[in-house]
Amino acid sequence: MPKYSVAVVGLGFVGLSTAACFAKLGAKVLGVDIDKKKIAAVEKGVLSFYEPGLKPILKKVIKDGSFTVSSNIRLVAQAPIIFIVVGTPSKEDGSMEDRFLLSASRQIGAGIKGSNSYHLIVVKSTGIPGTSLKLVVPEIEKASGLKYGEGFGACSNPEFLREGSAIEDTLNPDRIIIGGRPKDTEMLKTFYKKIYGKKLPKVICTNPTNAELIKYANNTFLAMKISFINQIARVCEILPESDIGVIANGIGLDKRINPLFLRAGLGFGGSCFPKDVKAFIEFSKKLGYYPPLAEATMKVNEDQPISAVRMAEKKLGNLEGKKIALLGLAFKPDTDDMREAVSITIVKELLKRKAKVFAHDPKALNTAAAIFDGKISLEKNAKACLKNADCAILVTEWMEYASLKPKDFKKLMKNPVLIDGRRLFDADEFSEQLDFAAVGLGSKV
């Protein structure tokens, strides 16, 4: 009897959320990470990032023994299924960085060396087509001396969880995609059947190439949907009497379109969409195809944050010496993650124009302090941030900002100019009482 049902190698945000949820669903899980400090923190239920609902689950599964963590990679030999969940960031040219995947594969290979039971290696990390069979499998063969298909198997099993809703997404996934040989896909499907029981969603078993491409197609499509609505929003900003909120609602009711991911804003950020769209572009180019929709998706997205700065200039003229208050810095609400956050571009553009930048975020202030390194003032609350400002820009739609009323902006700011970059505020109410502009909002005639 193996000691664990599964091992998860890489305890970053996705690995830790997945491992804790698997344990909550009844699996006996081993979590492995080379970072000893991280292991010590996780053992105490301490997280290095903010994810709603994860902490109590983690504490519970550590305490009841269903989740064990270690920095000893050799322990993976005691789990028949080993998930690789390490980062695949972008390289300078946008293509996928594979060194973490390769080193995790080498370590796992060394860990299962000499084992006489079959191990299934499951690649959960986002990897371009070919990752499982051409990158991971050869490394494991080399390090373990075992043969693919005999001593061990491999599957691609892409992850679709979102930051901020990782628990809900893992406990109730829309679907499970598994790419591999039938014996391997069946083995993984059996694991999922066991933990999800009656709640098992539709499982698609295919080859690794399709599974890997599904992940890129999925993220590229969602990113494209956002750039699409942002493109219509830009038209609205020039067209009097138009409003992107009404338009998104109107088209979202068409079942073929659906209302999700049609929120216009200052663009998408995070550790996934920008990186995955770029990796998809580079991958396609290498195949000899230049993907125009993916290119346009990035192009629209790169200009969205700058459009907020242009709106401020339209209202105030030259921004030099003006106090600009940014509400929200995280790439989206309910996270402290600022990777590829649009706030970074906005700050850069404002500083280029010699504006004085003040900012607040409910969770990302520590992250922001490391990124901006004293170049902007970070405020402990929204009201302090707005004090005496010439213009405020709502960058991230945290719920706590939704309770701000026009009178708060009027009372606190030197000049009550508000730019709603995420359509959080009621446009009619705010336009009546403030000098108000918003993404996708045409002027009144």
Q: Which residues are known catalytic residues?
A: 272
Rounded to whole angstroms, the Cα distance separating 302 from 66 reads 44
Chosen residue from 148, 283, 331, 436 binding ligand UGA by CB under 6 A: 331
Chosen residue from 109, 129, 173, 270 binding ligand UGA by CB under 6 A: 270
Residue with Cβ nearer ligand UGA (152 or 273): 273
Is the four-CA dihedral 30, 36, 37, 38 of positive or negative sign? negative
Annotate 205-221 with three-state secondary structure.
EECHHHHHHHHHHHHHH
Q: How far is the CB of 342 from ligand UGA (least distance, A)?
A: 7
Rounded to whole angstroms, the Cα distance separating 22 from 276 reads 26
Which residues share a beta bridge with 436?
A: 418
Given its phi and psi angles, is residue 334 left (phi above 0), alpha (psi -120 to 50 degrees) or beta? left
Tokens, residue 309? 């700065």
Chain residues 359-418 in contact with ligand UGA, contact rule CB under 6 A:
none
Q: In what helix (H) or strand (E) does residue 178 lie, and over which residues does it extend?
A: strand 175-180
Regarding 219 and contact with ligand UGA (CB under 6 A), the answer is: yes
Tokens, residue 104? 């995790």
Q: How many CB atoms lie within 10 A of CB 36?
A: 10
Please tell me what DSSP assigns to residue 318.
Answer: -
Regarding 83 and contact with ligand UGA (CB under 6 A), the answer is: no
Residue with Cβ nearer ligand UGA (272 or 325): 272
Residue with Cβ nearer ligand UGA (162 or 348): 162
Q: How far is the CB of 401 from ligand UGA (least distance, A)?
A: 14
Q: How far is the CB of 270 from ligand UGA (least distance, A)?
A: 4
Q: How far is the CB of 445 from ligand UGA (least distance, A)?
A: 28
Q: How far is the CB of 301 from ligand UGA (least distance, A)?
A: 9
Which stretch in 76-84, 198-206, 270-278, 404-412 sits in contact with ligand UGA by CB under 6 A? 270-278
Q: How far is the CB of 256 from ligand UGA (least distance, A)?
A: 17
Which stretch in 70-78, 101-109, 255-263, 403-411 sits in contact with ligand UGA by CB under 6 A? 255-263
For 131-176, where are the alpha helices, taking DSSP H only? 137-144, 166-171
Residue with Cβ nearer ligand UGA (272 or 319): 272
Chosen residue from 111, 153, 208, 269 binding ligand UGA by CB under 6 A: 269
278-317 footprint of ligand UGA as x/- string (CB under 6 A): ----------------------------------------
SS3 105: helix
- Cβ atoms of residues 26 and 67 within 8 Å: no
Of the CA atoms within 13 Å of residue 320, those in its CB half-sphere come to: 1
Question: For ligand UGA, how many residues bind (rule: CB under 6 A)?
Answer: 21
Q: If we measure between CA atoms, which residue out of 25, 340, 10, 12 comes closest to residue 173?
A: 25
Which stretch in 33-41, 96-104, 159-167, 374-382 sits in contact with ligand UGA by CB under 6 A? 159-167
Rounded to whole angstroms, the Cα distance separating 439 from 420 reads 6
Regarding 126 and contact with ligand UGA (CB under 6 A), the answer is: yes
Q: Are strands 323-327 and 391-394 parallel, antiparallel or unpaired?
A: parallel
Q: How far is the CB of 163 from ligand UGA (least distance, A)?
A: 4
Which stretch in 39-47, 103-111, 114-122, 272-280 sits in contact with ligand UGA by CB under 6 A? 272-280
Residue with Cβ nearer ligand UGA (161 or 213): 161
Residue with Cβ nearer ligand UGA (6 or 222): 222
Chosen residue from 57, 73, 262, 294 binding ligand UGA by CB under 6 A: 262
SS3 177: strand
Rounded to whole angstroms, the Cα distance separating 58 from 289 reads 44
Rounded to whole angstroms, the Cα distance separating 231 from 293 reads 13
Q: In what helix (H) or strand (E) does residue 69 lie, and over which residues does it extend?
A: strand 67-70
Angle at 157 between CA 152 and CA 160, to 5 degrees: 160
Regarding 421 and contact with ligand UGA (CB under 6 A), the answer is: no
Question: Which positions touch ligand UGA (CB under 6 A)?
Answer: 126, 159-163, 219, 222, 226, 261-263, 265, 268-270, 272-273, 276, 331-332
